[in-house]
Amino acid sequence: MNYSLDALFKPNSIAIIGASNDPTRVSGRPVQMLKDAGYGGRIYPVNPRRDSVQGLRSFSSLGAVGERVDLVLIAVPASGVEDALRDCCAARVGAAIVFGSGYAETGAHGRTAQERLAAIARTGGVRLLGPNCMGMFNTRERAYVTFPTVFSADWPEPGNVGLVSQSGAFAAFCYSRAKLEGLNLSYGAMTGNEADIDFADCLEWLIKDETTKIIIGFMEGFADGPKLCRALSAARAERKPVIILKVGRSPLGIATASSHTAQLSGEDAVFDAVFAEYGVHRAKTVDELFDVARLAASGGLPVRLRLGILTISGGAGVLMSDVAYDCGVTVPQLPEPVQRELRVRVPFASLHNPIDTTGQVLDDKTLLPAMLDALCSHADVDAVTGFYAGMGLSDAAPQLVDQLTAAAKRHPNVRQIVCALCTPAVRDALWAAGIPVFGEPSRAIAAFAAVTRIGQAFTRPAEMKPAPIALHLPVAPAALDEEHATALLSPLGICTPTARRAATPKEAGDVSEALGFPVVVKVLSPALAHKTETGAVTLNLQSRGEVVEASLSMLPPRNDRLKGVPVTGLYVVEMKMGVELIIGIHRDPVFGPVIMAGMGGIYAELLQDTAIALAPVTPAAALGMLRSLSGFHILEGARGRPRCDADAAADAISRLSRASLPAECHGIEINPLIVGAEGSGAWAADCLVT
């Protein structure tokens, strides 16, 4: 069942089973919408109790239509949905939509009913959108198979922005907002419970569609991580920006989501990692979703975070500089000779970049073009963001549009971005020249940064993933102590400090002399996850005597925190010095193996200074993870400390990421990974298998 969703998105014919003659009813609205919008295909109301529905001939059954129909809306009461879907299968239609609710979102009983629907569709070879969904729309062929009233008038021009949303009401909101903002959509699907057609399916179709250039999405959760990754990979290959508002980031959001949908959340941070890998922009607000979409939809993708800023308000220039700094955007200075040339004309203006035009720009019509040319030709920027305040509402608007349009033509490689209050006509005129308009200077800068990061991700060559390495547990999970866990790592080639097992304190003393001092001594036990808290580890022992004494004091009866804990021996380990990291691999329920790296120490752990990525990762990608940590400066030798072997740490992360975990094993955590001085290496000083 992997064939195209053309029947859903671009149907040549649409039947509505249960079509109502009353256009205000949910089962009547789509008929009215299709007629009003001027849908060019054939519309077949199916209603055995009427000869005509809203002026169209009505059919007694789907079979009576006498044509193989592309898309069928099932708009009958719950009790009739399964029969109607069977009729669709019998009539070999392409796709069916079920609006009705009361399925998986309501609990176990509904889930069973939904599984029945899915099975009928699958067996019958019909693609199913829904249930508990709001259908689809197609602004190009004017197919509106949905019911919110916002879709019922004032049909928008077809555009290049595709929409996929698991929430129907949210999609309807986006549709209205897009119309208000003059952002034109191409196709939209509201996937609801996703019994069959899901978010990734729709994404994939929109990526293949030639008229859709960018895709915005609203997602609450997604169970099939690899499928989503395939779709996102296709988007990157086609250079189509994908912007997703994935909600359920917080405990409260996840609780709310679980109470009203059947979506599996997965770990939110893993979605971040996946989106980062594929160059998807994850929006946190509706504004951001639209801002990034608007900029991406208006033209090519910048690839460098270098921005010219021009303002008719010095104050706005300061604000925009702050936001540029926050977003990691460089605002390169205009070369001094270029400034000098301009200064002759505007002696009081600030001309470094940001350029403060001063009010003179309103009187001297040649000033703005000269300033734009200076920034575009001499500041080596990928875009110029201009703050023109209320000019888009004023008499000066036509001149502004002309001058910006001309500048955009003169400098095709530098995007023009406008921040101004504009009338819709002014906004649309700028849009026609590929110039997006923002009402808020901060948001324009943030959108530039976001779109450039998409451009950078699309330019980055896709990494060759290293091959996984199968691991095998040396003993049963319940018998796994630290020595076994360390042994588990050996096929990965991760360095560990030299270590010896000892049966008694005396033997520990003996082996310590063979290892050389200082050493660490630990109590071995399959039941000990937290050695520090239970007094089962002693660091920095300098002599045989200290080792014996420490061993005695760590064991019962002297250590009563280990009373009743099964002890399998003592572990004498070469003491390594360096900066501590925590690295781990575990299986995410949605996306599979995930590699984590973070700074060690209680402070770093409390702040969760960690980075995660889909496993496996190359050493270069692992180094990128380390660089993203707030504590990376410590590895680099902050405050006069020695520089650490970050390459060795990255190598260890990459090696751990290749672990193909045994089925019994949820994850492996190395805590700490001790990173020595530059060139010396990194060692897994403790390892926990969960």
Span 1-20, contacts to a second copy by CB under 8 A: none
**Cβ 575 to a second copy, closest distance in Å?**
17
Rule CB under 8 A: say whether 250 interacts with a second copy.
yes
Alpha-carbon gap, residue 450 to 252, rounded angstroms: 27
Rule CB under 8 A: say whether 105 interacts with a second copy.
yes
Rule CB under 8 A: say whether 479 interacts with a second copy.
no
Backbone angles phi, psi at 283, to 5 degrees: -85, 145
Q: Of 137, 146, 89, 93, which is closest to residue 117 (Cα–Cα)?
A: 89
**Cβ 286 to a second copy, closest distance in Å?**
5
Burial (CB < 10 A; 0-12, 13-18, 19+), residue 550, is buried
Rule CB under 8 A: say whether 580 interacts with a second copy.
no
Rule CB under 8 A: say whether 220 interacts with a second copy.
yes
The residue with tokens 């920027």 is 381
Q: Distance of CA 448 to CAs 305, 320, 330, 367, 459, Å?
A: 8, 12, 11, 25, 16
104 forms beta bridges with: none
The residue with tokens 């790296």 is 597
Residue 176: Cβ within 10 Å count: 15
Rule CB under 8 A: say whether 155 interacts with a second copy.
no
**Is 413 or 532 the residue whose CB approaches a second copy more closely?**
532
256-285 mask for a second copy (x: CB under 8 A)? xx-xxx----------------------xx
Q: Quick one: which of 109, 340, 641, 643 contacts a second copy (CB under 8 A)?
A: 641
Q: Which two tokens stand for residue 230?
A: 């395939």
Alpha-carbon gap, residue 557 to 575, rounded angstroms: 26
Rule CB under 8 A: say whether 427 interacts with a second copy.
no
Q: Quick one: which of 27, 58, 146, 167 contacts a second copy (CB under 8 A)?
A: 167
Residues numbered 342-381 forming contacts with a second copy, rule: CB under 8 A: 347-348, 350, 352, 354, 356, 358-359, 362
Please state whether 434 falls in left (phi above 0), alpha (psi between -120 and 50) or beta: left
Q: Quick one: which of 184, 313, 628, 660 contacts a second copy (CB under 8 A)?
A: 313
Contact 391, 258 (CB under 8 A): no
Q: Quick one: which of 634, 665, 673, 674 contacts a second copy (CB under 8 A)?
A: 634
Q: Distance of CA 362 to CAs 215, 287, 391, 441, 463, Å?
A: 39, 31, 10, 20, 51
Q: Quick one: which of 249, 304, 465, 587 contacts a second copy (CB under 8 A)?
A: 249
**Is 26 or 515 the residue whose CB approaches a second copy more closely?**
26
**Cβ 631 to a second copy, closest distance in Å?**
6
**Cβ 441 to a second copy, closest distance in Å?**
7
Rule CB under 8 A: say whether 308 interacts with a second copy.
no
644 forms beta bridges with: 677
Q: Which two tokens stand for residue 1?
A: 């069942």
56-85 mask for a second copy (x: CB under 8 A)? ------------------------------
- Mapped onto helix, strand or coil, the DSSP state of residue 644 is strand
The residue with tokens 């609990």 is 107
Rule CB under 8 A: say whether 604 interacts with a second copy.
yes
Rule CB under 8 A: say whether 460 interacts with a second copy.
no
Q: Of 148, 7, 1, 2, which is closest to residue 72 (Cα–Cα)?
A: 7
**Is 426 or 492 the residue whose CB approaches a second copy more closely?**
426
Contact range with a second copy by CB under 8 A, out of 65-73, 194-202, 242-250, 519-527: 242-250
Rule CB under 8 A: say whether 326 interacts with a second copy.
yes
Contact range with a second copy by CB under 8 A, out of 409-417, 493-501, 618-626, 632-640: 632-640
**Is 109 or 410 the residue whose CB approaches a second copy more closely?**
109
Name the pairing type of β-strands 610-614 and 569-574. unpaired
**Is 41 or 308 the residue whose CB approaches a second copy more closely?**
308
The number of CA neighbours under 13 Å toward the Cβ of 212 is 28
Rule CB under 8 A: say whether 108 interacts with a second copy.
no
**Is 12 or 628 the residue whose CB approaches a second copy more closely?**
628
Alpha-carbon gap, residue 281 to 487, rounded angstroms: 41
Before 148, cis peptide (omega within 30)?
no
Rule CB under 8 A: say whether 319 interacts with a second copy.
yes
Contact range with a second copy by CB under 8 A, out of 79-87, 434-442, 516-524, 675-683: 434-442
Q: Quick one: which of 393, 432, 476, 577 contacts a second copy (CB under 8 A)?
A: 393
Alpha-carbon gap, residue 178 to 291, rounded angstroms: 11
**451 CB-near residues (< 8 Å, 6+ apart):** 241, 281, 292, 295, 296, 301, 302
Q: Distance of CA 680 to CAs 367, 601, 675, Å?
A: 60, 21, 8
Residues numbered 439-458 forming contacts with a second copy, rule: CB under 8 A: 439-443
Angle among Cα 660, 661, 664 to the nearest 5 degrees reads 155
Please state the three-class secondary structure of 334-376 as a single string.
CCHHHHHHHHCCCCCCCCCCCEECCCHHHHCCCHHHHHHHHHH
Q: Distance of CA 42 to CAs 65, 141, 146, 181, Å?
A: 11, 12, 17, 32
**Is 123 or 540 the residue whose CB approaches a second copy more closely?**
540
**Cβ 490 to a second copy, closest distance in Å?**
30
Rule CB under 8 A: say whether 599 interacts with a second copy.
yes
**Cβ 105 to a second copy, closest distance in Å?**
7
Q: Quick one: which of 322, 428, 463, 513 contacts a second copy (CB under 8 A)?
A: 322
**Is 421 or 433 the residue whose CB approaches a second copy more closely?**
421
**Is 103 or 458 the residue whose CB approaches a second copy more closely?**
103
Burial (CB < 10 A; 0-12, 13-18, 19+), residue 61, is middle
497-536 mask for a second copy (x: CB under 8 A)? ------------------------------------x---
Residues numbered 543-572 forming contacts with a second copy, rule: CB under 8 A: none
Contact range with a second copy by CB under 8 A, out of 10-18, 271-279, 318-326, 468-476: 318-326
Angle among Cα 305, 405, 308 to the nearest 5 degrees reads 25
Contact range with a second copy by CB under 8 A, out of 1-9, 119-127, 322-330, 617-625: 322-330
Rule CB under 8 A: say whether 314 interacts with a second copy.
yes
Rule CB under 8 A: say whether 131 interacts with a second copy.
no
56 forms beta bridges with: 53
Rule CB under 8 A: say whether 607 interacts with a second copy.
yes
**Cβ 473 to a second copy, closest distance in Å?**
28
**Is 64 or 603 the residue whose CB approaches a second copy more closely?**
603
Rule CB under 8 A: say whether 424 interacts with a second copy.
no
Q: Which two tokens stand for residue 3?
A: 């064939």
